[in-house]
Amino acid sequence: MNCNSSAKFDLEQLAQISADLDAKFIGAGAKNNTSSNISKKTLELFDKYDVQGAFKSNNITIGNEKKKRTRISKIKSCDEYASKRNNISMDFDTLVFTLSWPPTVCYKYLKSTRNASWKFPLKTQWSIHGLWPSRIARRAPDFCNCTRKYNPAEIETLMPELEKKWTNVLNQSDPHYLWNHEWSKHGTCASTVDSLNTQFKYFNQTLELFDKYNISSVLSKNEIELEGTYKQIEILEAFEKSLGKQIGNNCIVHYVNDRTRKYFLSSVHLCFDKSFNLIDCIKNKHFPTNCPSPLSISAEVEYSTMEEIINLI
């Protein structure tokens, strides 16, 4: 579309940037391009938004076919997310330590594809999702400092432990994807706490919390066993009895039909102050749960194995 026929293309004006154009703007020097409006701004955008690097960092390479979940949706930059948070304060009140139950993490992927493969920790072991700076009754901060890029070299000595305890269960994706995301979104915000102010400290401290608070052990000691079905209040009281504080949890909801739904325990949240003293998790609209109400006398939550989850699909 030619929006202004009076604006003539002048090749001489491009002499100073011709080398850049040849390298980055394929076809820019072709004779049939004389109607184009090529500017330095185009080259600046090329340098600023490294599309090739974004694909590479998410393990998307030429000839490597990927499912839609691992394509373009994963290459949004930290800057893009942060730009939507201009009016959100970066301070926080609490740290939420979130652990996931791997079989239910896979449920949403199984709904979209049966060809996915998984990488689980031990059969009865929960896995770290992240350590999230949060606020009481306010929206949590995220993507606080996009200049602090994820650097695998900084946590190289932690890699064996991270792979076992902070597992990216979707086997086809880059194992660094989850850690990169958690650092960029949450770790950069936690850096105002001295014990979390480096990438190494953030991941190491989270691993220490995982070792200190054994979710499988808490559940088992309170007779919450795999393949069992329990009231929501029984699960919450199990943690309060063992830890002395209220926790949060989430479920996946499986709709059997229009009137019947099943709840499956999916994640557990432990809350801490900035000195890592365990505190009550306070439910609010910014920290919701989709598990049934603790007051419900009919709805129950299932603590299921991978085999049971697969049979839902």
Q: Mark whether 182 is an active-site residue.
A: yes
3-state secondary structure of 86: coil
C-beta separation of 253 from 91 below 8 A: no
Phi, psi of 141 (to 5 degrees): -75, 155
**Phi/psi at 70 (nearest 5 deg)?**
-110, 15
Please confirm, yes or no, whether 186 is among the known catalytic residues. yes
The CA distance from 242 to 266, in Å, is 20
Question: Distance between CA atoms of 188 and 146, rounded to whole angstroms?
Answer: 8
Does residue 153 sit in helix, strand or coil?
Answer: helix
Pick the catalytic residue from 176, 182, 254, 302.
182
Of 12, 65, 80, 129, the active-site residue reads 129
CB-neighbour burial class of residue 209 (10 A; exposed 0-12, middle 13-18, buried 19+): middle
Please tell me which residue in 176, 186, 254, 269 is annotated as part of the active site.
186
Closest-CA residue to 190 (of 232, 143, 138): 143
CA distance 96 to 130: 8
Q: Taking the CB of residue 53, how many other CB atoms lie within 10 A of it? A: 10
Q: What are phi and psi of 95, to 5 degrees?
A: -120, 125
Distances (CA, A) of 165 to 36, 158, 160, 172, 179: 54, 11, 9, 18, 12
- Residues recorded for the chain: 313
Q: What is the DSSP letter of 113?
A: -
Q: Which residues are catalytic?
A: 129, 182, 186
